[in-house]
């Protein structure tokens, strides 16, 4: 009999209002796709916000011979609870944990979870398939599957999946309980790994420092599928370094333009892996927002973080992104051991100079599997039970008055920066790039914000004239018409959106309200 697999995720209770925490991790969709492509039953469940009774009732209502729990450091306590309830509901099931936290801190997870049978080390497709196929054979040999950590030791390592397209993409086979919103499927992953070795990040240890890319055709097929099946027109590429390989980036951009999908999207990358050619191609293909892991504007502190970039590269990257006319976000870190107030002022000066549209600032956190965690253990700054003793979702490297003051200072600086593009800047972008629908959309947004509604409408109408298959011109004009009390005209535009992208969530929602 084919074993049924159930894969669970839950955000911690403290993250109930954080949509990023409550999203089902992208990787679980790939696990489900791998099993289903091989003919094995698999269901996902997002149990965020569910009570103990609700979780237990749900689990008792499922047929499951294998139950996996997706565990990160921030949701480890909740994951321990899920494993306990899973054992109560299914005494004979094989219980697995996977994800960064158990991969890097297996001994602790085993001690915290007596019911746990095994931990899947690193990426899970091949180990999970191995377990299912051995169980299907009716033996206990599943414990010899490569890529597992057991209470008595580890099995042989499982080589990384060389072809991320081997099992297709999640949307083709997706089934999940307690996730009715198809827009979450718009969060896409087109590669695995990162070329950097930042000591505060566990990506190199988990995925490896070499990048494995999906094929451009596969990515385009996924976008087309989501457009046709769910009407999605906005996507978020969550690769650690979306622009890592220039030729691949340009090929994908060309494919998006030729597809006629006219999507809008965002991505994230490193400041040393963008140039004008890539950014121009990205904007022409629909990119409207890019986030950079700047982390700090002090070169000395960047070296402490093993970031592998410098402030000169960061200024250049943000300058190019603004020249092209993209909305720009940056991540900054403070509260770093050895960071001085002069270093903090360097980051504040960078914000004022570079004018990013969005700034995410966080104190430095210590995660298992990072170079920083290993270093702190070796130096005796933290002990072996560091995470067991803490009930917090995150453990910070430096908790003092300096960190609190730095956070307030950088947040205040960011709030005072006028990052929005001016009319002169928009005019320069149009003169340089020629017609580009993303420029029109951003111009329209700016005009609306300033109350210049006729100007905004003209921007959207130019898109409609020049790209009549682009749903964004109609959607933005419909939203403007609703704002101006012209619902009749807006309804006609919404119907155009739904003709181009049947089932589009935003147009469907508005049509239902109107």
Instruction: Tell me the per-residue pLDDT of 129-155, one tens digit each, with 9 for 90 and over.
Output: 999 999 988 767 999 999 999 998 999
If you average pLDDT over residues 180-209, what whole number do you get?
88
Question: Which residue reads 């990023």 in tokens?
Answer: 20
CA nearest neighbour of 433 among 289, 318, 281: 281
503 Rama class: left (phi>0) / alpha (psi -120 to 50) / beta:
left
- Percentage, residues of the chain above pLDDT 90: 85
- Which pLDDT score is estimated for 18? 67
Specify the range with the lowest mean pLDDT, choosing from 17-31, 48-62, 228-242, 407-421.
17-31
Which domains are seen in the chain, by residue range? 5-154 (3.40.50.2300), 181-416 (3.80.30.20), 423-513 (1.25.40.10)
Instruction: Compare 378 and 335 and report the one with higher pLDDT.
Output: 335
Return mean pLDDT, the chain: 94
Is 209's pLDDT higher than 80?
A: no
Say what the pLDDT of residue 383 is: 79
pTM of the predicted model as reported, rounded to 2 decimal places: 0.94
Helix (H, G, I), strand (E, B) or coil at 73: coil
Question: Would you state the pLDDT for residue 153?
Answer: 93
Residue 70, class by beta-carbon neighbours within 10 Å (0-12 exposed, 13-18 middle, 19+ buried)?
A: buried
Residue 205: pLDDT over 90 = no
DSSP 240: T
Each residue's pLDDT tens digit, 51-98:
999 999 999 999 999 999 999 999 999 999 999 999 999 999 999 999
pLDDT attached to residue 12: 87
pLDDT of 16 above 70:
no
Cβ–Cβ under 8 Å, residues 109 and 92:
no
Cα–Cα dist 356/354, whole Å: 6
């Amino acid at each position: 009999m084919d074993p049924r697999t159930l894969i669970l995720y839950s955000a911690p209770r403290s993250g109930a209002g954080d949509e990023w925490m409550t999203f089902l991790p992208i990787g679980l969709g790939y696990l489900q796709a791998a099993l289903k492509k091989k003919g094995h039953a698999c269901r996902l469940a997002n149990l965020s916000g569910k009570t103990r009774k609700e979780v237990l009732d749900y689990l008792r209502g499922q047929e499951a011979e294998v139950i996996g729990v997706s565990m990160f450091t921030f949701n480890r306590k909740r994951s321990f609870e899920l494993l306990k309830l899973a054992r109560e509901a299914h005494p004979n099931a094989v219980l697995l944990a996977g994800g960064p936290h158990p991969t890097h801190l297996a001994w602790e997870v085993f001690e915290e979870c007596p019911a746990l049978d095994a931990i899947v080390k690193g990426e899970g497709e091949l180990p999970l398939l191995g377990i299912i196929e051995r169980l299907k054979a009716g033996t206990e040999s599943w414990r010899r599957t490569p890529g597992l950590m057991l209470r008595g030791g580890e099995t042989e390592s499982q080589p990384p999946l060389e072809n991320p397209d081997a099992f297709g993409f999640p949307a083709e086979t997706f089934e999940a309980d307690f996730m009715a919103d198809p827009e979450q499927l718009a969060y896409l992953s087109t590669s695995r790994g990162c070329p950097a070795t930042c000591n505060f990040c566990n990506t190199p240890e988990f995925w490896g420092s070499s990048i494995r890319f999906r094929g451009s055709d596969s990515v385009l097929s996924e976008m087309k599928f989501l457009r046709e099946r769910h009407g999605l027109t906005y996507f978020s590429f969550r690769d650690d370094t979306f622009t890592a390989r220039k030729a691949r980036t340009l090929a994908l951009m060309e494919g998006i333009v030729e597809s006629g999908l006219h999507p809008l999207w965002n991505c994230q990358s490193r400041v040393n892996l963008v140039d004008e050619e890539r950014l121009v191609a990205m904007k022409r293909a629909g990119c409207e927002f890019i986030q950079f892991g700047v982390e700090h504007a002090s070169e000395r502190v960047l070296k402490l973080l093993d970031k592998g970039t410098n402030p000169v590269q960061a200024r250049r990257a943000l300058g190019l992104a603004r020249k092209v006319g993209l909305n720009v976000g940056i991540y900054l870190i403070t509260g770093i051991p050895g960071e001085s107030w002069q270093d903090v002022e360097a980051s504040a000066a960078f914000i004022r100079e570079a004018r990013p549209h969005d700034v995410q600032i966080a104190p430095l956190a210590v995660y298992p599997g990072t170079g920083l965690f290993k270093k702190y253990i070796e130096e005796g700054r933290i002990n072996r039970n560091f995470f067991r003793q803490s009930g917090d979702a995150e453990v910070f490297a430096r908790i003092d008055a300096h960190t609190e003051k730095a956070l307030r200072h950088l947040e205040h600086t960011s709030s005072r920066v006028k990052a929005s593009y001016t009319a002169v800047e928009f005019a320069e972008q149009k003169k340089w790039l020629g017609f580009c629908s993303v420029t029109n959309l951003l111009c329209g947004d700016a005009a609306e914000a300033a109350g210049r509604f006729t100007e905004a409408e003209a921007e959207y109408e130019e898109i409609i004239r020049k790209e009549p298959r682009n749903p964004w011109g109609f959607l933005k004009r419909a939203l403007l018409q609703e704002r101006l009390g012209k619902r009749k005209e807006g309804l006609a535009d919404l119907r155009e959106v739904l003709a181009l992208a049947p089932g589009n969530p935003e147009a469907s929602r508005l049509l239902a309200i109107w």
